[in-house]
């Protein structure tokens, strides 16, 4: 890793490529320990350095990777150049801060994200079986294969031996994914009840939010108090778009991919589940569709759901359906 130390006058005190080891890092910064702040770009390997600085009592700041790219983009880019520019941004007050997720919940949050990865792989296997059935123009299987009890004898539906073997391999993997995913869910559920049991049950009072979405929201937010306003939370969850304008005129919207993709998924899924089999929710959607169209109406409900969750967690109050559906 490249490390660059700049003093208050802008002079480079050290600029060196180091082994990625705690001992080498601590040895180099030793002469400057009394008045040093460590800044790191938010890429996937910042955990160990943040934990080391916390253990050593060294101030640590994390830089938003996307915003840093916009600030220090230049003709030449490599680790050496980047390390110096990060140091100078810290000195000049141009360092775009990102949230340093606390150590106590970080591993469980990453495990929950890993569970989503396994669920997507499981969905790919289910889609492959259905696509294979369509590829050979066979009769519909007629069963929900996401349920284990319906998978028995599915391979016999395919007459060709090679195709049957391929489908049976998918079935075997599906059975194993079911075991792994269920085990992960049970473990994360136990940990969630340890970290924040009140929020876990509070969120499930919302129409459309079950145990998995509740755990996702809890672990991606960590502490609702880090968002001073509901607007900050809505922006972080990708529930609103940012306008782009000049001279008092709006020329478009952007920033749709800036924020937490996992929270965006959670609120999108919650919106769909809220409307499923919910006559009152469907009436609310129909009322919004007349004015805004279907796509924007769904976005409005998702943003409204995000606002409701924000105030629920801030106040410790359950979901108020009357207030949510009020026009």
With beta carbons less than 8 A apart as the criterion, state whether 128 and 170 touch: yes
CA 33 from centroid of its chain's CA atoms: 34
Span 296-302, mean pLDDT? 94
Which residues, other chains included, contact 54 with Cβ-Cβ below 8 Å and sequence gap of 6+?
A: 60, 103
H or E, element range at 192: helix 161-195
3-state secondary structure of 156: helix
Half-sphere exposure of 312 (CA within 13 A, CB side): 24
Lowest-pLDDT choice from 223-227, 229-233, 322-326: 322-326
Q: Torsions phi, psi of 13, nearest 5?
A: -90, -30
Indicate whether 234 and 314 sit together in one domain.
yes
Span 112-140, mean pLDDT? 96
Indicate whether 231 and 320 sit together in one domain.
yes
Indicate whether 234 and 277 sit together in one domain.
yes
Indicate whether 79 and 114 sit together in one domain.
no
Which residues, other chains included, contact 128 with Cβ-Cβ below 8 Å and sequence gap of 6+?
A: 170
Predicted local confidence at residue 285, as pLDDT: 94
Indicate whether 317 and 250 sit together in one domain.
yes
Residue 208 in domain: no
DSSP 142: -
Residue 14 in domain: yes
The proportion of the chain whose per-residue pLDDT surpasses 70, expressed as a percent, equals: 98
Domain boundary among 40, 73, 98: 98
Residue 112 has pLDDT above 80, yes or no: yes
Predicted local confidence at residue 170, as pLDDT: 97
Indicate whether 120 and 156 sit together in one domain.
yes
N-term to C-term CA, the chain = 55
Indicate whether 92 and 10 sit together in one domain.
yes
**pLDDT band at residue 228 using 50, 70 and 90 as cut-offs:** very high
pTM to 2 decimals?
A: 0.89
Indicate whether 62 and 114 sit together in one domain.
no
Predicted local confidence at residue 71, as pLDDT: 63
Residue 177 in domain: yes
Alpha carbon distance 262, 238 (integer Å): 10
Domain boundary among 53, 81, 98: 98
How many domains would you assign to the chain? 3
Alpha carbon distance 106, 161 (integer Å): 47
Residue 200 in domain: no
Indicate whether 93 and 161 sit together in one domain.
no
Indicate whether 142 and 190 sit together in one domain.
yes
Indicate whether 133 and 112 sit together in one domain.
yes
Identify the domain containing residue 267 by its residue range: 227-325
Q: CA–CA distance from 297 to each of 119, 221, 266, 269 (Å)?
A: 28, 25, 17, 15
With beta carbons less than 8 A apart as the criterion, state whether 30 and 58 touch: no
Residue 204 in domain: no
The two tokens of residue 140 are 């519909």
Task: List pLDDT tens digits, range 33-89.
Answer: 989 999 999 888 899 999 999 999 999 999 988 888 766 666 777 888 888 888 988
Span 282-295, mean pLDDT? 93
Q: Which of 314, 208, 211, 216 is nearest to 263 (CA)?
A: 216
Residue 277 in domain: yes
**pLDDT band at residue 168 using 50, 70 and 90 as cut-offs:** very high
DSSP 327: -
Lowest-pLDDT choice from 40-44, 96-100, 236-240: 40-44
DSSP 139: P
Residue 256 has pLDDT above 80, yes or no: no
Alpha carbon distance 148, 181 (integer Å): 13
Domain boundary among 51, 81, 98: 98
Residue 254 has pLDDT above 90, yes or no: no
Alpha carbon distance 320, 103 (integer Å): 33
Indicate whether 184 and 139 sit together in one domain.
yes
Lowest-pLDDT choice from 73-87, 111-125, 184-198: 73-87
Residue 273 in domain: yes
Alpha carbon distance 247, 243 (integer Å): 13
Which residues, other chains included, contact 40 with Cβ-Cβ below 8 Å and sequence gap of 6+?
A: 46, 49, 50, 60, 61, 62, 63, 86
Residue 213 in domain: no
């Amino acid at each position: 890793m490249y490390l660059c130390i700049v003093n208050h006058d802008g002079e480079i005190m050290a600029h060196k490529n180091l082994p990625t080891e705690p001992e080498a890092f601590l040895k180099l910064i030793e002469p400057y320990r009394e008045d040093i702040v460590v800044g790191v770009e938010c890429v996937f390997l910042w955990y160990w350095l943040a934990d080391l600085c916390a253990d050593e009592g060294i101030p640590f700041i994390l830089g938003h990777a996307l915003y840093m790219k916009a600030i220090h983009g230049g003709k030449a880019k490599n680790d050496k150049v980047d390390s110096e520019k990060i140091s100078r941004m810290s000195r000049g007050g141009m360092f775009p801060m990102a949230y340093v997720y606390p150590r106590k919940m970080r591993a469980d949050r990453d495990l929950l994200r890993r569970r989503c990865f396994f669920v997507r792989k499981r969905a790919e296997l289910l889609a492959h079986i259905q696509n294979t059935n369509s590829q050979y123009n066979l009769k519909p299987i007629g069963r929900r294969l996401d349920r284990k009890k319906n998978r028995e004898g599915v391979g016999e539906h395919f007459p060709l031996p090679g195709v049957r073997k391929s489908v049976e391999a998918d079935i075997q993997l599906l059975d194993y994914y079911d075991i792994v995913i269920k085990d992960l869910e049970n473990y994360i559920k136990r940990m969630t009840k340890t970290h924040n049991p009140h929020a876990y049950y509070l969120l499930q009072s919302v129409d459309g939010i079950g145990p998995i979405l509740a755990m996702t929201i809890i672990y991606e937010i960590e502490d609702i108090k880090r968002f001073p306003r509901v607007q900050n939370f809505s922006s972080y969850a990708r529930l609103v778009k940012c306008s782009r304008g000049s001279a008092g005129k709006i020329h478009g919207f952007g920033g749709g991919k800036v924020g937490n993709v996992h929270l965006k998924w959670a609120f999108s899924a919650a919106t769909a589940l809220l409307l499923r089999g919910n006559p009152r929710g469907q009436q609310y959607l129909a009322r919004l569709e007349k004015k805004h169209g279907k796509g924007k109406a769904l976005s409005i409900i998702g943003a409204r759901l995000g606002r409701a969750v924000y105030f629920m967690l801030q106040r410790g109050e359950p979901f108020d359906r009357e207030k949510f559906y009020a026009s």
